[in-house]
Structure 1
Amino acid sequence: MPRHASFRPRHGFTTIESLIAAVVFLVGLAGLLGALVQARGATGQARRLMQATDIANDLAEQIQLWNFTDPRLAANDALCANDPLDKTRKLHRPKTAEYNAYIACMHGELMLRLSGASFGGLQRPVFKDEDKVEGRNETAYQRFYIVRTETVREGVQRMQVWVKVLYLDAGEPRVVTTQTMRIQMGGV
C-alpha cells in the first residue's frame, strides 16, 4: 500500500498574504499622513487669520485712544473713503495700478507714528510660523486704516475708521478688515 503524505494545516501566513497585508497597511498610513499634512496646513492658515485679526483689533483699540483732532486721523481721499471695504478687491491684485493707488490713499505705518506721537500698540507686525526659527518662515502683516468723517448735525461729528491688515497666505493675498466708530459732540 502506497503511503500518502498526510496533509497537515500550517499555522501562520504565507508570503503573499503578508505582502498584501503590508500594502494595505501602507496605503492606510499614506492616507493618514496626507490628512495630517492637510490638517497642519489648515491650522497654519487659521493661526495667520487669527494673528491678522488680533493686529487689526490692536490698531483699532489704539485709534480709540487718539484725540479726535489727532493729525493721524485725517480723512482719506475719496478712492479709499468711498470704498473702505474694497468691494472691487483691489488689494487682492498686487502689482497693479489699482492696488498701488489704493495702498497709497490709505494711512499706513508712517501715519501711525506721525510727528513723534507715541504708538502703544504692536510695534512690529511679524509672527513666526510653525517652526519658530528666527528669520525664517515668518508672516509679515501690513497695517492700514481709512478714516471717513462726516457731520451728522450741527455740533456732532461721526468718524468711521476701517482697519485693514494685509498678508500673504500660501502666496495669495488675504485681507482682514475691522471697523470702529467715534462720535464727537459739542466743540468740533
Structure 2
Amino acid sequence: MQRRTFFRSRPGFTTIESLIAAVVFLVGLVGLLSALIQARGATSQARRLMQATDVANDLSEQIQLWNFDDPNKRLDDNVGECASDPLDKDGKLLDPDPDISSGYIACMHGELTLTQDGAKFGGLKTPVFKDADGSETEFKRYYIVHTVNVREGVKRKQVWVKVRYMEAGQPRVVTTQTLLVQMGGV
C-alpha cells in the first residue's frame, strides 16, 4: 500500500499567479505610456497657445506706449470687414482657405504697420519660436483700431490684437483687447 502524501501550501506565488500579475502590470504600463504620449502632444499645444498669448500681450503693451494721435498713423481706424466684425464672429481667420481669410487679414494693421515711416517698435522683433524638437512656429500679429468719441473732450481707441498661427494644418487665433483714452486733448 502506498502512502498518501498531502501537499502543504508553500509560501510564495504559483506560476499562474505570477503570469496574471505580469499581464495586469503590462496592461497598466501600456495605459500609462499612452497617457504620457497624449500629454506630450497636449503640452506642445499648450506651449504654442501660451506663446501666442505672450506675443499678443507684448503687442498690446507696446500699443499702450504709443501716442493717442500717433504721428506714424499706426493707430488709424480700420476700414473694411474687420472693422465691422473685430471679434471675427464669422470665423474667417480660422478658415484654412486663404481666399476666405485674405480679405479679413488685408483689412487689419499688420507687421508692416508696426515700423512704417521709421516708427520705433520696442516689442518682440520676430515672433517665431522653435520648440525643443526643432519645429518652428511663426506667429503673425495683427490689430484692429476703433475710435469712439465718448463725450466732448473724451475719446477712446479700442484696439483688438490678434495673433494667428498654424497648428496641425489648421489656423489658431488668440485675441486680446486694450484701450487708449484721451481726455481733454491730452
The reply to whether TM is greater than 0.5 is yes
User: Among 71, 74, 77, which residue is 1:75 paired with?
Assistant: 77
Deviations 1:51-97 (A, max 9, x none): 21111111011011112222111211131111111011111102243
| Count of aligned positions | 184
The one-letter code sitting in structure 1 at the alignment partner of 2:147 is: T
Between the aligned partners of 2:150 and 2:9, the Cα distance in structure 1 is 94
Between the aligned partners of 1:2 and 1:59, the Cα distance in structure 2 is 95
The correspondence of residues 89-104 of structure 1 with structure 2, limited to 5 A, is 89-104=91-106
The alignment partner of 2:77 has SS state of coil
Between the aligned partners of 1:119 and 1:8, the Cα distance in structure 2 is 85
User: Among 139, 147, 150, which residue is 1:149 paired with?
Assistant: 147
Between the aligned partners of 1:4 and 1:179, the Cα distance in structure 2 is 89
Between the aligned partners of 1:28 and 1:150, the Cα distance in structure 2 is 60
So what's the TM-score if we normalise by structure 1?
Answer: 0.87
Tell me the C-alpha RMSD between the 2 structures: 2.1
Q: Which runs of 5+ in 1 are unaligned?
A: none
The alignment partner of 1:92 has SS state of coil
User: Among 152, 173, 176, which residue is 2:174 paired with?
Assistant: 176
User: Residue 118 of structure 1 aligns with which residue?
Assistant: 120
The one-letter code sitting in structure 2 at the alignment partner of 1:182 is: L
The alignment partner of 1:90 has SS state of coil
Contact (CA 8 Å) 2:96, 2:170: kept in 1 or not?
no
Deviation at 1:169, TM superposition (A): 3.0
User: Residue 36 of structure 2 aligns with which residue?
Assistant: 36
User: Among 108, 123, 148, which residue is 1:106 paired with?
Assistant: 108
So what's the TM-score if we normalise by structure 2?
Answer: 0.87
Between the aligned partners of 2:138 and 2:115, the Cα distance in structure 1 is 19
Deviation at 1:10, TM superposition (A): 4.8
Q: Which runs of 5+ in 2 are unaligned?
A: none
The one-letter code sitting in structure 1 at the alignment partner of 2:175 is: T
